[in-house]
Amino acid sequence: MYLLACGSKEEVAPDDDVREICNYLETLSYVRAELVRQDGLSLSMRLLNETHRHLMQGVRGASKQPGGIRRSQNWLGGSRPGNARFVPSPAQALPGLPGELEKYLHAQDELPPLPTRPLIRHPTCSPW
């Protein structure tokens, strides 16, 4: 099976989907290592940008600002934003969002982080 190509010792030419899955696995290992290392990156925009850079290595979109905040509108499904299944915030609305996200990540809150951190993936905070 192609999914085994990521860690396989055999010569298997992975397709694009397999490469993306391998990137997810390798990136997860990278992030975990950074978060536990004494001098590693903390949960921050720098770590999120590095995470994005790792995810995009050698896959679709690798030439489109990996690790950077997008500068143009994107969407999922459909041929344009008007008929798309999902349209994130316009690019011109993004410059302030990463800073707000980082403030939220490090805010002292009465609620524990586990139930509140999933809110981070809200569609209006999708800078990539």
DSSP secondary structure letters along 87-123? ----GGG-TTHHHHHHHHHT---SS-HHHHGGGGG-G
**To the nearest whole percent, how much of the chain has pLDDT over 70?**
75
C-alpha 23: how far from chain center: 11
Do 64 and 1 have their domain in common?
Answer: yes
Residue 1 confidence (pLDDT): 38
69 compared with 85, residue with greater pLDDT: 85
Answer with the one of 68, 100, 118 that is the final residue of a domain.
68
- Rounded to two decimals, the pTM is 0.68
Average pLDDT over residues 87-103: 83
Domain of residue 88: give its range: 69-128
Q: Going along 1-128, which residue ranges are E strands?
A: none
Residue 119 confidence (pLDDT): 62
Question: What contacts 26, CB < 8 A, 6 or more positions away?
Answer: 54
φ and ψ of 25, to 5 deg = -65, -45
Do 40 and 15 have their domain in common?
Answer: yes
Neighbours of 128 (CB within 10 A): 19
pLDDT tens for 5-52 read: 566 566 656 688 889 999 999 999 999 999 999 999 988 889 989 999
